[in-house]
Amino acid sequence: MRGLQLDSLNPALLNVQYAVRGELAIKAEEHREKLKTDDHGLPFGKVISSNIGNPQQKGLDQPPITFNRQVAALLEWPALAELAPNAFPKDVIARAKQLHEEIGSIGAYSHSQGAAMIRRHVADFIAERDGYPSDPNHIFLTGGASAGVSLLINMLISSPKSGILIPIPQYPLYTATLAAFSGVPLPYHLDEESEWATSPRDIEIAIEKARKDGIDVKALVIINPGNPTGALLDEPTMEKVVHLCEQHDIVLLADEVYQSNLHSRHTHPFISFKQVVRQMGSQVPLVSFHSISKGVTGECGRRGGYFECANIGEDVIALMYKMVSVGLCPPLSGQIGVDCMVRPPKPGDESYPLWEKETNETHAVLAARTKIMAERLNKLPGASCVNSPGALYLYPRLELPDRAVEAARQAGKEPDAFYAMQLLDETGICVVPGSGFGQKEGQNHYRLTCLCPGVEEYVGALEKFHLGFMERYGGL
């Protein structure tokens, strides 16, 4: 019987690759289990999961925002407000009561698009951020931004010749989702020498090439701030991108989940594509994504996010609603997280001083770690690193010795994956090789998060390994 066997399944699924949780992440978990034994024999005492932007994971331990958790606790068990009335600030109790009256039990389904009240609050947040109104009926709450990305790509891929422009390096969600839906990834390269800037000209060249190859270019993905690069687009570049989308009649997909992760908020402010599109008076179709998983919120496991549609017809909105209805509704705990993210305490609220202290401390810690890591990595022979104004990552470049490249080939691995595996085996530090994100031919990179505590010890281990690796393969 064929049953559930690989040769009887959707062949497109066999092409899905997701490097962030790939071979290195699996090996890291094996090491973590081995460390629980007395005779593990490993040359390190802990595994550091620097491969994924998962702020609250064990070992990285970004503290959750107290206000968010208190609201969540009261919605999980409303009786707590009466059983422990002195344990919660008055504004937390009021917020939880308001949400409970609107939603009821979070064990029940909500509206498939997300609770109406929370969508109104998201619309208010967007309007205040951008200075332009937002329609709650054009906002969809989702199980993390990834669910929204998957929905949009599924809708856009109308044939095997449908293509979507993606930045290289890119977050592998996009290539993985395109593979699953039999779409064509159309790469355009970011400019490392210009601090990973987005080049509208390179996008235009990619469009022209795709059309010559008979590909129907449906959409352009922009990740801002960038993942894995941390780069932040400036307004003139954003305007050129919008003009390109107008000229070529393509949808703009703006992945803006790191908008709160700005290490230099005064010199490098975040500007949304919604704001740029509106102030230009453009009619380009735009879908913008946001998430509670990043920023100072860091609630990855609650699976909360949203996307907003602009310049998209009501018939398409209705089709989106039909598609999300199949999944019934996004997780209620994630929806509550979205409400807390877009509607934090305000000055004068009882919770505001603690909220301000916690958010400022997390911003400061991330900025300091990023600066230290970039400075130290740039001093290493055979390594260079663009400092990141945003997001949670650095993306250092490696100039590996010929002997290391040859050894990698003999091992059947990409050179940066070969380097990353040895880094894991010798230090317990798990990173993602640049070959998992896409890069120019002959280049090597790796992505690591800036979330790791004990940054001096962490960077020291990276430095010691790198120098040893370079010496081992004749690079010093």
- In tens, the pLDDT along 410-431 reads 888 888 889 999 999 999 888 8
User: Are 26 and 110 found together in one domain?
Assistant: no
* Strand, helix or coil for residue 301: helix
pLDDT in tens, 331-379: 999 999 999 999 999 999 999 999 999 999 888 888 888 888 888 889 9
Domain with residue 227: its CATH number is 3.40.640.10
pLDDT category at 290 given cuts 50, 70, 90 is very high
Res 192: pLDDT: 83
- Are 375 and 337 within one domain? no
26 falls within a domain = yes
DSSP H helices, 379-447, are 402-410, 415-427
Q: Is residue 389 part of a domain?
A: yes
Q: What are phi and psi of 399, to 5 degrees?
A: -105, 90
- Tell which of 286, 314, 342 closes a domain: 342
With cut-offs at 50, 70 and 90, classify the pLDDT of residue 9.
Answer: low
pLDDT at residue 313, rounded to an integer: 93
313 and 459 belong to one structural domain: no
Tell me whether residue 74 is in a domain.
Answer: no
Handedness of CA 279, 280, 286, 291 (dihedral sign): negative
Instruction: Give yes or no: residues 168 and 285 share one domain.
Output: yes
pLDDT at 60: 72
Split at pLDDT 50, 70, 90, the class of 204 is: very high
Q: Is residue 126 domain-resident?
A: yes
Q: What percent of the chain is modeled with pLDDT above 90? A: 41
Task: Determine the Cα–Cα distance for residues 221 and 171; give it in Å rounded to an integer.
Answer: 10
- Taking the C-alpha atoms of residue 425 and residue 419, their distance in angstroms, rounded to an integer, is 10
- Give mean pLDDT, residues 388-407: 86
Looking at the fold, whether 364 and 300 belong to one and the same domain comes out as no
* 402 falls within a domain: yes
Please give the pLDDT value at position 182. 83
Res. 7 pLDDT band, cuts 50 70 90: low
Q: How far apart are CA 439 and CA 119, in angstroms?
A: 38
CATH number of the domain bearing residue 43: 3.90.1150.10
Predicted confidence (pLDDT) at residue 56 exceeds the cutoff of 80: no
Q: Quick one: 414 and 459 in the same domain?
A: yes
Domain that holds residue 335: 99-342
* Assigned domain for 107 exists: yes
Give the residue among 436, 381, 416, 440 at the shortest CA–CA distance from 193.
Answer: 440
Higher-pLDDT residue of 21 and 106 is: 106
Tell me what the pLDDT averaged over the chain comes to. 87
Q: Is residue 380 part of a domain?
A: yes
The verdict on residue 89 lying in a domain is no
Count of domains for the chain: 2
31-51 pLDDT per residue, tens: 888 888 878 878 888 888 887
What is the average per-residue pLDDT within 396-405? 89
pLDDT number for residue 48: 85
